[in-house]
Amino acid sequence: MVVDGRLARKPAVDFDVNACIFCGECATICPLDALRMKIDGEEIATIVKNEAFPILLKEIKVARERCKPECKLKCQQECPTGAINVVIGNSKIKKAPALDVQVNESLCIYCKRCEAACPFDAILVKKPFLGTVQLKVDLCPEGCRACVDICPAHAAQLDENGKPKVSLNFCVYCFACQKVCPEKAIDVRREWIFHSDVRSAVWLTALKKLTSLETVSKEVASDSGRRRHTRAGNRAPSSEEASTDVA
Q: What is the pLDDT of residue 136?
A: 96
Q: What is the pLDDT of residue 223?
A: 75
Residue 246 — very low, low, confident or very high, per pLDDT cuts 50/70/90?
very low
Q: What is the pLDDT of residue 10?
A: 87
Q: What is the pLDDT of residue 97?
A: 54
Could you give the 3-state DSSP secondary structure of residue 210? helix
Alpha-helical (H) ranges within the chain are 25-29, 46-49, 74-78, 113-117, 146-150, 176-180, 201-210, 213-233, 239-246
d(CA 247, CA 242): 9
What is the CATH number assigned to the segment(s) 2-57+127-227?
A: 3.30.70.20
The more confidently predicted of residues 68 and 246 is 68
**pLDDT tens-digit readout, 113-166:** 999 999 999 999 999 999 999 999 999 999 999 999 999 999 999 999 899 999
Among the four given CATH numbers 3.30.70.20, 3.40.470.10, 3.30.70.260, 3.90.1150.10, the one describing domain 59-126: 3.30.70.20
Residue 228 — very low, low, confident or very high, per pLDDT cuts 50/70/90?
low
Prediction pTM value = 0.83
Q: Do domains 2-57+127-227 and 59-126 have the same CATH topology?
A: yes
Q: Which of 35-39, 81-85, 101-105, 239-243 has the lowest mean pLDDT?
A: 239-243
Q: What is the pLDDT of residue 237?
A: 45
- Closest by Cα among 100, 97, 96, 98 to 76: 100
For the chain, the structural domain boundaries read: 2-57+127-227, 59-126
How far CA 183 is from CA of 4, 171, 187, 189, 214, in Å, comes to 13, 20, 11, 17, 27
Q: What is the pLDDT of residue 89?
A: 66
Q: What is the pLDDT of residue 137?
A: 94
Report CA torsion sign: 58, 64, 68, 72.
positive
Are the C-beta atoms of residues 169 and 25 closer than 8 Å to each other?
Answer: no
- Closest by Cα among 113, 51, 54 to 80: 113
d(CA 8, CA 149): 9
Q: Where are the beta strands (DSSP E) in 58-98?
A: 59-62, 84-88
